[in-house]
Structure 1
Amino acid sequence: MAEPAAATSYKPRTYAAVKVLPPAQRHLVSRFSYGVTPTLATQVRQRRGAAKWFTWQLKGAAITDATHRTTKAWWPDLARSPESLWKRSSDGVRGGWEVMADYQRWVITRRRQSKQQVLETMTQFWENHLYVPTNGEQWFVHRVSYGETIRKHALGRFDNLLYSAITHPAMLLYLDNATSTAAKPNENLGRELLELHTVGRGRFTESDVKDSARILTGWYVDMWKTWKPSYRPDMHATGRVKVKGFSHANSRADGREVTRLYLRYLARHPDTARRIATKLVTKFVGDAPAPALVDKLAKVYLKNNTAIAPVLQTLIASKQFKAAAGKKVRDPIEDVVATYRALGVKVARPTTSNSAANAVLWQTQSVGATPFGWPRPDGTPIDNASWSSTSRVIASLSMHYSMSGGWWPKERATFRTARAWVPKSGMRFDELVDHLSRSLLHRPSTARLLQACCEATGLRPSDRITHDHGLVKWEMPRLLTCVLDSPDFFRR
């Protein structure tokens, strides 16, 4: 290919066959989805704009989409009972880590394919906030159910979500509450409930932790046998408890009502409101949450009885959100999912371990993270710095190149042909770059992108690209990768 002339002008041209959303709408849809695609953009236009699309998306599971149900069937173990999973693991049929890998794959598949993009985005947020990892010998038997519970409440009220999560057997097992007794209350869940799930570090005392643990005694799981959850009054620590402003006589052996009142109190505490507001702003706006926006969201949260939807509506309407375009980095998992979506890769039900629906988990691992693979109870980082290292960027570049060429994973995956990326034979190269920018980045090309593409391929902006051009025959992966490697694709 010819070397580009030193004096080449990199003024981009327009090839507008692919319609893109206005920047403000693209920003909203990008933050609350796993990548804007032409299909998603059409959905937004059908809803008469991003704001109305977002309101519609808050309906969550009420939006007609079979992805959740049909793709779960791709991995049959996800439907097994806890007792069955444990027996099969004990008998050496299939280990818990293998079942959890299937769960991770299912989550990735939903994020990639679901029409319920806001629901999946918020399920990710809450499953990370109320974190239970997938690497565990005990709790894996209840981990699928836990994820389903989070998803059920992800767009509802936080008080309901908190109660359902904290009393769920997966959480009870993970944070050692399943066998906590009146004689020896285990403080792990009681502490993390305060520090991570509600009011936050520095907002409670050691005395609060002890009484928090006592309140939660009695919630039991029959470990190593049936794995059935139950409430055991004989294991509940009675006697007056006081945590921050919550006080209760706690005189009955059945402490479930005390638990309900306690979690309701924590969900409605101003410190919890601020903590949740801060995390929402960090995830969806920027890494330095504006105090004014945090205060505003916290007030909306408390005024609306911990309902999440009004908080999200207030967030997207804020001036801080509108000014935050391009300021959040995709984490490795979001990058992989967005790459599949941008390239329009069709993935079928897996038949072997090398099938794309299974191999995608190894892809996310190679870039730097897997769903729920973070080893600590504080959840996967949601700040930019954690995912902006040189090694992560290099890993992403490698993944983009492999995907652009359709080289791996390719089993049970259908990639677009190189020719399919060139809408007409004989178009100028700068027009092709604009077409690819609109298709992959959902934005018009820029002089910087055009120059990068010229340097990557050795072509000039004015070169004519036919369907039998060498670029189409051999070098299209290089061009596609150049577009995907742009800073605009690394950002949500």
Structure 2
Amino acid sequence: MTRFGYGIDATLARDVRRAGGAPAWFEQQLTSPGSFPDGAADAVRRWWPDLDRRASDLWQRQVQEVRGGWQVMEDYGRWLLVRRIRTRRPVLEKMTEFWEAMLHVPVSGDAHFTWRVDYGDTVRRHALGRFDELLTATTTHPAMLIFLSAATSTKRAPNENLGRELLELHTLGAGNYDEDDVKASARILTGHHVDLWESWKASYVKEDHATGKVRVKGFTHTNRKADGREVTREYLRYLAHHPLTAQHVCERLATKFVRDDPPRSLVKRLAKVYLKNDTAIVPVLRALAASKEFRSSAGDKLRDPGEDVVATYRALGVEVGRPSRNDSASNAILWQASRLGLTPHAWPRPDGTPVTDRVWASPSRALGSMDLHYSMAGGWWPSEGIRYRTPRAWVSSKKPVRFEDLVDAVSRDLLHRPASKRLVQTATIATGCKAREKIDRDHALYQWGFPRLLAAVLDSPDHLAC
């Protein structure tokens, strides 16, 4: 639930119980996510209307200085973060994020921003489907074509950017191809076109396709027809089914969801499942979650900046409303992620947001997380368009409670697990309270010190790790 989601909250815990336990819930999330109504998450899309404008309209609004592309992309990041707070389909959400990072088109870009929201929607539709279909949909998508210079690649001047990154980052992996493969890959992909700076329409221009025999690794094709779309589909299907792609995809999955150095034996087992099931993603995730390596890695992964922000909102049970001013919480949430190191899909290089912990395990990140947790524990910032719970939620007015029992209650509420001895000890240091000290609504902890207790719980490995 923590590894394949964004933090446990009351709604998620209830869904798991209703499903009959975590394994049954996970299976339902994989095979029928639609059985979890997600109206609250779907509704936030309307908060940022630019997300549903056509590419040409977005461009004209930028040219006319109505709203810049960078502002639209900020809204996209905000929408993703708020959606992740609200969703009841965290596995679908997490896999959409995973593929958007692997098949990366950064949100920064003066041209591809016009198609970037549609690109994310495309990934979401295929996130729990088959990788060969996902690869075809993303490789030929206008956002990818623009970002990697394939939108204007022609037989007279084939651009190698997409052909190369397709091999290195999206399928076979670094070191598993040569320059002849790159050249042939680029020629296969010629013909796909986007009308830059004018209509922004995507099309296929047969006159621009480079015909003639092509060879990439074990893939060969006569490539005689001017319309090369069939060759492209066959080529992408070949790459998706290649054993090296199976290894590459499954290693990234195991790195993200198991540990930074996943055992080769696990990767090989997952790759075998991937190939046996015609590149279907669900059987691979099912096998990964059932593996002994996955189960023994509990608590070993560090949440990245976006995951930390979302999990903190979910743990505290805060309610975020529609943005009404610039500093509304639904806007400020993007700045919170940025202060921790990265806003959604803003990684500038083609290799996408890293899935290894070492990128985020720095002193500055730790201090940033502590600042985030403390400011939200106190309800100090953001303060507009947001509703925080107060100490009243944990301290009964009827009778005093021992501090160690209060820590346990807060831990069970925020983290859905009992407080460890280490957490109780940490909380006593953070607040100055003794373990058996009695706490009521007249106590200083309730009156002004409660944020220190909440922050101590959120700063713990039980929250930062998953």
TM-score (normalizing by structure 1): 0.93
For the 8 Å contact 1:248–1:258, the answer to whether it is kept is: yes
Highest RCO, 1 vs 2 (Cα 8 Å, sep ≥ 6): 1
Give 1:63 deviation, angstroms. 3.4
| Cα separation, 2, equivalents of 1:361 and 1:268 | 37
Counterparts of 1:52-71 in structure 2, within 5 Å, are 52-58=24-30, 59-61=32-34, 63-71=36-44
Residue number in structure 1 paired with 2:141: 168
| Cα separation, 2, equivalents of 1:268 and 1:62 | 31
Instruction: Tell me if 1:402 matches 2:375.
Output: yes
What does the per-residue CA deviation read over 1:371-393, in whole Å, with 9 as the maximum and x for residues that have no partner? 01111010111111111101100
Instruction: Tell me if 1:379 matches 2:352.
Output: yes
Residue number in structure 2 paired with 1:23: none
* Seq. identity, %: 56
Residue number in structure 1 paired with 2:403: 429
For the 8 Å contact 1:78–1:103, the answer to whether it is kept is: yes
Residue number in structure 2 paired with 1:17: none
| Cα separation, 2, equivalents of 1:56 and 1:183 | 50
Residue number in structure 2 paired with 1:342: 315
Counterparts of 1:93-132 in structure 2, within 5 Å, are 93-132=66-105
What secondary structure, in the 3-state scheme, does the structure 2 residue paired with 1:33 have? coil
| Cα separation, 2, equivalents of 1:68 and 1:100 | 19
Residue number in structure 1 paired with 2:274: 301
For the 8 Å contact 2:169–2:351, the answer to whether it is kept is: yes
| Cα separation, 1, equivalents of 2:417 and 2:396 | 17
- Kindly provide the amino acid, as one letter, of the partner of residue 459 in structure 2: D
Instruction: Tell me if 1:458 matches 2:432.
Output: yes
Residue number in structure 2 paired with 1:83: 56
| Cα separation, 2, equivalents of 1:325 and 1:281 | 13
- Kindly provide the amino acid, as one letter, of the partner of residue 164 in structure 2: R
For the 8 Å contact 2:11–2:88, the answer to whether it is kept is: no
Residue number in structure 2 paired with 1:9: none
Instruction: Tell me if 1:51 matches 2:16.
Output: no
Give 1:423 deviation, angstroms. 4.4
Give 1:110 deviation, angstroms. 1.2
Give 1:38 deviation, angstroms. 2.7
Give 1:446 deviation, angstroms. 1.4
Residue number in structure 2 paired with 1:16: none
What does the per-residue CA deviation read over 1:324-343, in whole Å, with 9 as the maximum and x for residues that have no partner? 10110000110000000000
Counterparts of 1:54-453 in structure 2, within 5 Å, are 54-58=26-30, 59-61=32-34, 63-423=36-396, 425-453=399-427
For the 8 Å contact 1:457–1:475, the answer to whether it is kept is: yes
For the 8 Å contact 1:61–1:119, the answer to whether it is kept is: no
Instruction: Tell me if 1:39 matches 2:11.
Output: yes
Counting matched residue pairs gives 464
Give 1:39 deviation, angstroms. 2.4
For the 8 Å contact 1:453–1:482, the answer to whether it is kept is: yes
| Cα separation, 1, equivalents of 2:10 and 2:122 | 31
| Cα separation, 2, equivalents of 1:192 and 1:303 | 26
User: CA 1:423–1:118 in 2, change beyond 3 Å: closer, same or farther?
Assistant: farther
What secondary structure, in the 3-state scheme, does the structure 2 residue paired with 1:72 have? helix
Provide the alpha-carbon RMSD of the alignment: 0.9
Give 1:69 deviation, angstroms. 3.0
What secondary structure, in the 3-state scheme, does the structure 2 residue paired with 1:73 have? helix
What secondary structure, in the 3-state scheme, does the structure 1 residue paired with 2:220 have? strand
For the 8 Å contact 2:78–2:333, the answer to whether it is kept is: yes
For the 8 Å contact 2:396–2:440, the answer to whether it is kept is: no
User: CA 1:355–1:32 in 2, change beyond 3 Å: closer, same or farther?
Assistant: same
| Cα separation, 2, equivalents of 1:426 and 1:69 | 42
Residue number in structure 2 paired with 1:10: none
Give 1:468 deviation, angstroms. 2.2
| Cα separation, 2, equivalents of 1:391 and 1:64 | 38
What does the per-residue CA deviation read over 1:105-159, in whole Å, with 9 as the maximum and x for residues that have no partner? 0011111111111000000100001000000000001000000000000000000
Give 1:64 deviation, angstroms. 2.2
Give 1:455 deviation, angstroms. 1.1
For the 8 Å contact 1:400–1:485, the answer to whether it is kept is: yes
